[in-house]
Amino acid sequence: MDEYKVDIPVKLAHHRKRNRWEHFLAYLASPAKDPLTDGISSAGGLIKFTFMPVAGAVCIAIFQALLL
């Protein structure tokens, strides 16, 4: 470590405003919270997430049967 010298700037010399594209890319790169974590972590939430697709399939089947 004695051989290498690293200069750390106190202030960044170049401040520029980011455009919309850079804001969008920063938004995509930012870590996000998983919206399903809270629902799956509880027993009631787990039952909800396993029951809802079945109930949705039944509703779609009834709707299609009514259209025939």
Question: How does pLDDT run across 4-61, given as a tens digit for each residue?
Answer: 877 766 665 566 788 888 888 888 887 777 767 776 777 777 777 778 889 999 999 9
Q: Is 6 among the domain residues?
A: no
Q: Is 48 among the domain residues?
A: yes
Residue 61 pLDDT = 96
Give the domain extent around 58: 20-67
Q: Is 14 among the domain residues?
A: no
* Residues 6 or more apart whose Cβ sits within 8 Å of residue 26: 18
Global pTM value: 0.39
Q: How many domains, the chain?
A: 1
Residue 23 pLDDT = 85
- How many whole angstroms from its chain centre is CA 49? 18
